Structure 1
Amino acid sequence: MTDNKDDFEAIRQIYTVLMLHFMDGMKQSDIASAMNLSASKVNRLIAQGRKLGMVKISVESPFQRLVELEKRLTDSRGVSSIVTPAVAGSPDTTLQQVGRAAANQVLETLRDGDVIAITGGRAVSAVVENMQPERRFDVTVVPLTGGVQGKFYTDVNHLASRLAERLGGRTMLVHAPLFAENQDQRDMLMEMTSIKEVFNLARKATIALVGIGSIVTPGSSYYDLHPVPDLDREDLIRNGARGEFLAHLIREDGTIADHPLNSRLVALAPGELEQCPRKIGVAAGPAKVLPIRAALNGRFLDTLIVDEETAASVLETLEPFQNVA
């Protein structure tokens, strides 16, 4: 039977080696030399220390609040989350930080041969402008919707071309308006060979990069998208719409709103991205809280990239609902 004194000496030696290695940063070879041990003995003592539970590693972020928000979002809805700092009094800077984080997230997983499908919107535009790859990628970028000319962030074809240019890839464009004049015209456009080909490719996308749109504030991008200049915002809200996803008006529970505008959309429906392995939603600002909640309730995303103030507000609305459920 091993003597207690021997046990103590063995533990003391393990402790000394662990302190020198993990706290003082000494190499195992230097520890062996300092303690007149063989390198294999030092390695064995470190392994024993780990087995005995003497090594506990704690990694803390200087942005611990952001890490906690990410974990809460993931626990609440099962989406991988990246939360960026909010810059007080500067929504544009906050959006650019979200765009930079989303760009880096795309680049971390992007592979040659991938298809990237995107929407328009200010947030997606911020992602495109912050995309700084270290090499060229053999990828194809395609729109998920028809386009609206007039502003750089509403013209999804412009954003798709710009993203393909930055990545060194190619693009296929949708030469059709986002809103058709009626449902029959929409159905006809969706069956056109050139448009059908792009949308078929979008359905097989490896990465979908999408904005999450607000319909609450009069200045929301949604009101730049459609051809009705005097669209009644209050009417949309009364009909249950809380946001837009792929330009589709969606309710709080994530279902597609029963609104005539949805039937005129030249765009993929949210459910058609179900097989896409990386659905990245990008949003910033208080106006996006309700739309984000609706998109999360609809299970449209597997990754959400958002600023900290918006993330906190989304959680305030999600967690009480979850507790009741």
Structure 2
Amino acid sequence: MTAGAKRRSLGRGRGENAVIEVAWMYYHDGRNQQEIAEALGISRATVVNYLQEARETGLIRITLAAPAFTTHRLALELCDRFGIAGAWVVPDEGCDAEGTFARVVRGAAQWLPELLAPGDRLGVAWGRTVYDLAELVEPQVIADLSVLQLVGSMATPYGFTAEACSTRLAQRLGARCLNLHAPAILSRAELAAELREEPILKRQLEALGQVNKLLFSAGTVTAESHVVESGLASRADLAAQVAQGAVGVICGRFVDAEGRALPGPAEARMIGIELPRLVGLEMGLLVVPGRDKVAPSLAAIRGGYVTHLATSTRVAEALLAAG
């Protein structure tokens, strides 16, 4: 196509083809915005708009190589201090809490597929961090991968359920999905015990014992904790657990500062994986998107649930200072 014909085509269509053409020239050919505008007979402002549209519609995706984050000074310090295999640290200068959250979750979403291999059985916790991460994972297929829901279903203030976290991630990774068809907590311990013996649920719970990798974010024990807002614990339950030394929540269960599971009245009524099964796995990716999660995250590290950690610079500094 001649330059004149190209200009006429763009002038008539100005649709997806034009966006693709501009994106290709900018990102693949390395031409600047003014050069593209002159070559295609459009304004520089139009070039800027087309590039923005290309990013927003997913026509192009911008990623940075993992070593930029995993060999960051703070990443290496985290590995050395806590004896973990890897850390991914994103910059958060000038970011508010929500901006930091978004950057950390996006970074973890980029990193996760690199930590998985064919045949893995990835156990997935629940919460906004995990769900948003699943939404951001680049669609791909990891052969013979299984994604398993670790905690039963519950109410959530975010408009999605525990099974939505595992289902969405499985879809993005082309994996099998094994969900728990039961509430996370029952009204009576006897009812929970009976339900665990139901053949379908019994097989699902037994499958959790084959998990070899874990994706999670440790929860807090404040009054606004997910464990309270989701109905897993009342405020009275929370206060009682904190009085016993609870500093965090992992997969719906309270842990102390050393990451040990704390017994409580709700324990016998819960449906989900027991915490000892998550200690010492091949991979445990902990996502720490904010400084409010420093104490529970340190507990998870000390408890042996963590081999890899994704966070931001300021949160990394807080972890190192507190740890």
Scaled by the length of structure 2, the TM-score of the pair is 0.71
Q: Contact 1:146/1:179 (CA < 8 Å) preserved in 2?
A: yes
1:251 maps to what in 2?
256
Partner secondary structure for residue 218 of structure 2: strand
1:283 maps to what in 2?
288
Matches within 5 A, 1:125-164: 125-135=131-141, 137-152=143-158, 155-164=161-170
C-alpha distance after superposition, 1:189-211 (max 9, x if no partner): 32322222223222212321112
2:183 maps to what in 1?
177
Of 194, 197, 202, the residue aligned with 1:196 is: 202
Q: Does 1:107 align with 2:113?
A: yes
Partner secondary structure for residue 244 of structure 1: strand
Q: For the structure 1 residues 152 and 139, does the alpha-carbon distance in structure 2 shift closer, same or farther, using more than 3 Å as the test?
A: farther
Q: Contact 2:294/2:318 (CA < 8 Å) preserved in 1?
A: yes
Q: Residue 169 of structure 1 aligns to which amino acid in structure 2?
A: A
Q: Contact 1:206/1:277 (CA < 8 Å) preserved in 2?
A: yes
Partner secondary structure for residue 72 of structure 2: helix
2:128 maps to what in 1?
122
Q: Residue 176 of structure 2 aligns to which amino acid in structure 1?
A: R
Q: Residue 259 of structure 1 aligns to which amino acid in structure 2?
A: G
Alpha-carbon separation, structure 1, partners of 2:69 and 2:106: 19
Q: Show structure 1 runs of 5+ residues with no match.
A: 1-60, 319-325
Q: Does 1:86 align with 2:92?
A: yes
Of 297, 308, 324, the residue aligned with 2:313 is: 308
C-alpha distance after superposition, 1:238-264 (max 9, x if no partner): 221100111110011221123222332
Alpha-carbon separation, structure 2, partners of 1:244 and 1:269: 13
Give the count of matched residue pairs.
Answer: 257
Q: Show structure 2 runs of 5+ residues with no match.
A: 1-65
Q: For the structure 1 residues 226 and 67, does the alpha-carbon distance in structure 2 shift closer, same or farther, using more than 3 Å as the test?
A: same
**What is the deviation of 1:174?**
0.7
Alpha-carbon separation, structure 2, partners of 1:153 and 1:137: 30
Q: Contact 1:282/1:304 (CA < 8 Å) preserved in 2?
A: yes
C-alpha distance after superposition, 1:123-171 (max 9, x if no partner): 1112101101344644221101111134457611111111111122221
Which of these two proteins has the greater Rg computed from alpha carbons? 1
C-alpha distance after superposition, 1:63-87 (max 9, x if no partner): 7998222222212221122222225
**What is the deviation of 1:89?**
4.7
Alpha-carbon separation, structure 2, partners of 1:211 and 1:200: 23
Alpha-carbon separation, structure 2, partners of 1:66 and 1:112: 26
Q: Contact 1:117/1:205 (CA < 8 Å) preserved in 2?
A: yes
2:228 maps to what in 1?
223
Alpha-carbon separation, structure 2, partners of 1:62 and 1:158: 31
Of 98, 101, 105, the residue aligned with 2:104 is: 98
Alpha-carbon separation, structure 2, partners of 1:153 and 1:203: 29
**What is the deviation of 1:226?**
2.3
Of 252, 256, 277, the residue aligned with 1:272 is: 277
Q: Contact 1:203/1:276 (CA < 8 Å) preserved in 2?
A: no
Q: Percent identity?
A: 23
Q: For the structure 1 residues 84 and 187, does the alpha-carbon distance in structure 2 shift closer, same or farther, using more than 3 Å as the test?
A: farther
Q: Does 1:206 align with 2:212?
A: yes
Alpha-carbon separation, structure 2, partners of 1:123 and 1:137: 25
C-alpha RMSD over aligned residues: 2.6
Alpha-carbon separation, structure 2, partners of 1:84 and 1:244: 24
Q: Residue 185 of structure 1 aligns to which amino acid in structure 2?
A: L
Partner secondary structure for residue 249 of structure 1: strand
Partner secondary structure for residue 194 of structure 1: helix
Alpha-carbon separation, structure 2, partners of 1:143 and 1:183: 21
Q: Residue 257 of structure 2 aligns to which amino acid in structure 1?
A: E
Q: For the structure 1 residues 228 and 208, does the alpha-carbon distance in structure 2 shift closer, same or farther, using more than 3 Å as the test?
A: closer
Alpha-carbon separation, structure 1, partners of 2:192 and 2:128: 25
C-alpha distance after superposition, 1:2-53 (max 9, x if no partner): xxxxxxxxxxxxxxxxxxxxxxxxxxxxxxxxxxxxxxxxxxxxxxxxxxxx
Q: Does 1:296 align with 2:301?
A: yes
Q: Contact 1:144/1:268 (CA < 8 Å) preserved in 2?
A: yes
Alpha-carbon separation, structure 2, partners of 1:137 and 1:98: 26
Q: Contact 1:84/1:98 (CA < 8 Å) preserved in 2?
A: yes
Q: Contact 1:178/1:226 (CA < 8 Å) preserved in 2?
A: no
Alpha-carbon separation, structure 1, partners of 2:69 and 2:156: 41
Alpha-carbon separation, structure 2, partners of 1:305 and 1:69: 11
Scaled by the length of structure 1, the TM-score of the pair is 0.71
